[in-house]
């Protein structure tokens, strides 16, 4: 036998490996053919996935945002339909005809329009936002090359009215900011849908699930009261040359905010045009200030309730008091000799308030201030509410002088909403109601008004009555500018310096003048806070008290509050009826 050459031997040795490789490849092909034959769904899904990535796109469909109403059902915010128009140039059969049709509907340059509809791109943006009427006219063309994409557009029919309360929406209408729009964004915004839609032509689904829509909200605001308050605030800011101002009206019986106005205001329909960042916040809840002499009433209330002083308590006012190394002086550096509690409030005596705070001691004083809600957000339901600052013993930056300073509103930061809530507790017999701006949320299950919520009893009914009598005398003797004929008013003017640095820069008017009053004093149905920043004038009773009176004049009509004589007669008549029935 002839021996094999070395080359043949090598080939023969490798044949098993080649055969094994061919067998494995055949098995691989057979398995894939079997998979294609017996499992066509997975293959089809994969092919569809590849095809969809080329012809389809994922479109985020925002929900229809819920509407906002005032307490009487007047619309304050709703949605307008606008569109963004696009074209698939490859599907345009007659560019001249399409150009003519679109030119009659859209206010757009013909040359630019023609360039877009004859482009070699897969998709071209044509115009937007365009109105609902223009969108309907384009849809009526029934042209396969055109696509309309809905654009969320929030509309505020009242313009600047209650703008800081209602708020705005940003990010193409997907996210609320400021006011109720921000605080209740999850409630109003509904559920966003991610849908796969055709790129060529662009196809926006018309039907949406009902559960996608956001919920409607009814506010506690009274549109008529809000309008009147804003009108008076605007006049006051102009008349007193104030930097800005705020007015809040609250029903102390249930915590409803009937009006909240800031001046200057904004138009939420054109919020993108707002340059000044200070206008994009709500000073009533988003900014704090030193309340000044408004705090004296809270100091007196706390001391009365804890039995530290009585309505007949007196002290010797020398015009000067040192507390914790800080000197405290009365306004105009006056001394008043033997002075009672009523005079402290009527004459806004800082030494008197500090003396009472010293009598209370740190533990009881700060316990009462916390009970009045200082240093805590009120939870009224407005976006990004500030909690204020009440430093207490134990804090690293607290010192003994703060007890005397805090008693008359210095070195403590509050929001206007905190102050009116505290005074509302006094007006409501010592019971603090949860302040609220939202009265009702309308959903598929319910549309009932939320029940008023009690936060706590701050002071006893007896203390509240004594303090109310004192505040009535404050108006009669110290702030007659706030008096309203036919109605007994209880209130307190406030004067506060903004800061030493600002005072140096701004001059003599670097102060905040305020007034908080409620009426009728014996049956309070409305609490009103007036706050003017850097106005011309020296004291709250001179500037803010007259504004309160003008607001109250119309308020008693809008809220149908009878005067003292009528209420007295009604009370007597009810007593007679009750006596006869018994």
Span 250-267, mean pLDDT? 96
Which pLDDT band, with edges at 50, 70 and 90, does 1 fall under?
Answer: very low
In the block, residue with structure tokens 């704090």: 288
Q: Which residues contact 380 (CB under 8 A, 6 or more apart)?
A: 257, 285, 417, 421, 435, 436, 437
Alpha-carbon torsion angle 32, 38, 42, 47, nearest 10: 70
Span 142-156, mean pLDDT? 86
Asked whether residue 31 carries a pLDDT value surpassing 80, the answer given is no
Q: Are 258 and 249 in contact (CB under 8 A)?
A: yes
Which pLDDT band, with edges at 50, 70 and 90, does 24 fall under?
Answer: confident
**Residue-level pLDDT at 504:** 45
Fold of 59-215: Penicillin-binding protein 2a (Domain 2) (3.90.1310)
- The DSSP output letter for 4 is P
Q: Are 227 and 161 in contact (CB under 8 A)?
A: yes
Q: pLDDT, tens digit, for every residue of 82-114?
A: 888 998 988 888 888 888 888 888 888 888 888
Span 24-46, mean pLDDT? 64
Neighbouring C-alpha atoms within 13 Å toward the C-beta of 102: 27
CA distance 340 to 565: 31
Asked whether residue 295 carries a pLDDT value surpassing 90, the answer given is yes
Asked whether residue 506 carries a pLDDT value surpassing 60, the answer given is no
Mean pLDDT check: name the lowest of 13-27, 351-365, 474-488. 13-27
Superfamily classification of domain 223-567: DD-peptidase/beta-lactamase superfamily (3.40.710.10)
Mean pLDDT check: name the lowest of 162-176, 219-233, 308-322. 162-176
**Residue-level pLDDT at 62:** 62
Which tops the pLDDT comparison, 526 or 96?
A: 526
Q: What is the mean pLDDT of the chain?
A: 87
**Residue-level pLDDT at 443:** 80
H-run or E-run covering 216 = strand 216-219
Q: If you average pLDDT over each of 196-200, 274-278, 472-476, which comes out highest?
A: 472-476
Asked whether residue 501 carries a pLDDT value surpassing 50, the answer given is no
Token pair listed for 210 = 């009902």
Kindly report the backbone phi and psi dihedral angles of residue 161, in degrees, each rounded to the nearest multiple of 5, phi listed first. -60, 125
For the chain, the distance separating the N- and C-terminal CA atoms, rounded to the nearest angstrom, is: 142
Which pLDDT band, with edges at 50, 70 and 90, does 313 fall under?
Answer: very high
Span 408-413, mean pLDDT? 96
Asked whether residue 144 carries a pLDDT value surpassing 90, the answer given is no
Alpha-carbon torsion angle 42, 43, 45, 50, nearest 10: 140
**Residue-level pLDDT at 198:** 57
CA distance 502 to 79: 43
CA distance 495 to 498: 10
- Characterize 246-267 residue by residue with b for buried, 16 or more Cβ atoms within 10 angstroms of its Cβ, and e for exposed: bbbbbbbbbbbbbbbbbbebbe
Domain regions of the chain by residue span: 59-215, 223-567
Asked whether residue 12 carries a pLDDT value surpassing 80, the answer given is no
Q: pLDDT, tens digit, for every residue of 351-405?
A: 999 999 999 999 999 999 999 999 999 999 999 999 999 999 999 999 999 999 9
In the block, residue with structure tokens 């094994």: 20
């Amino acid at each position: 036998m002839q021996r094999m050459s070395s080359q043949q031997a090598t080939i023969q040795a490798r044949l098993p490996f080649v055969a094994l490789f061919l067998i494995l490849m055949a098995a691989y092909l057979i398995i894939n053919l079997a998979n294609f034959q017996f499992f066509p769904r997975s293959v089809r899904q994969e092919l569809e996935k590849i095809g969809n990535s080329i012809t389809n796109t994922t479109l985020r469909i925002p929900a229809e945002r819920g509407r906002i109403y005032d307490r009487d059902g007047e619309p304050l915010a709703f949605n307008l339909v606008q569109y963004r128009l696009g074209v698939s140039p490859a599907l345009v059969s007659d560019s001249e005809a399409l150009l003519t049709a679109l030119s009659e509907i859209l206010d757009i340059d013909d040359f630019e329009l023609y360039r877009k509809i004859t482009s070699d791109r897969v998709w071209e943006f044509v115009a937007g936002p365009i109105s609902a009427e223009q969108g309907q006219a384009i849809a009526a063309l029934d042209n396969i090359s055109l696509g309309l994409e809905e654009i969320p557009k929030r509309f505020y029919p009242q313009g600047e009215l209650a703008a800081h309360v209602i708020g705005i929406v940003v990010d193409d209408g997907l996210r609320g900011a400021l006011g109720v729009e921000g605080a209740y964004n999850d409630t109003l915004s509904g559920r966003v849908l991610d849908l796969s839609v055709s790129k060529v032509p662009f196809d926006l689904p018309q039907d949406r699930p009902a559960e996608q829509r956001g919920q409607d909200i009814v506010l506690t605001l009274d549109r008529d009261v809000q309008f009147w308050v804003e009108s008076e605030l605007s006049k006051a800011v102009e008349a007193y040359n104030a930097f800005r101002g705020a007015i809040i009206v609250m029903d102390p019986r249930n915590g409803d905010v009937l009006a909240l106005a800031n001046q200057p205001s904004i138009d939420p329909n054109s919020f993108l045009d707002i340059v000044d960042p200070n206008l994009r916040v709500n000073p009533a809840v988003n900014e704090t200030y030193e309340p000044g002499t408004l705090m004296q009433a809270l100091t007196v209330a706390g001391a009365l309730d804890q039995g530290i002083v009585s309505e007949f308590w007196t002290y010797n006012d020398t015009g000067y008091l040192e507390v914790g190394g800080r000197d405290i002086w009365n306004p105009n550096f006056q001394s008043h000799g033997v002075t009672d509690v009523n005079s402290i409030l009527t004459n806004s005596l800082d030494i008197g308030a500090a003396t009472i705070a010293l009598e209370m001691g740190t533990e009881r004083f700060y316990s009462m201030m916390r009970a009045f809600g200082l240093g805590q957000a009120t939870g009224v339901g407005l976006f990004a509410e500030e909690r204020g600052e009440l430093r207490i013993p134990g804090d690293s930056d607290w010192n003994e002088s703060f007890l005397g300073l805090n008693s008359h509103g210095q070195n403590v930061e509050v929001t206007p909403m905190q102050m009116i809530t505290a005074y509302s507790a006094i007006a409501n017999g010592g019971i603090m109601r949860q302040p609220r701006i939202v009265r009702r949320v309308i959903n598929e299950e319910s549309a009932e008004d939320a029940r008023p919520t009690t936060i706590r009893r701050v002071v006893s009914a007896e203390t509240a009555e004594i303090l109310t009598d004192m505040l009535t005398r404050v108006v009669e003797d110290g702030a007659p500018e706030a008096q309203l004929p036919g109605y007994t008013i209880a209130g307190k003017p406030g004067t506060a310096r903004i800061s030493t640095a600002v005072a140096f820069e701004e001059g003599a008017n670097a102060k905040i003048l305020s007034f908080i009053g409620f009426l009728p004093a014996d049956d309070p149905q409305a609490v009103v806070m007036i706050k003017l920043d850097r106005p011309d004038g020296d004291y709250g009773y001179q500037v803010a008290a007259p504004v309160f009176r003008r607001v109250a004049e119309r308020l008693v009509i809008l809220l149908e509050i009878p005067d003292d004589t009528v209420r007295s007669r009604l009370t007597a008549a009810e007593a007679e009826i009750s006596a006869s029935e018994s």
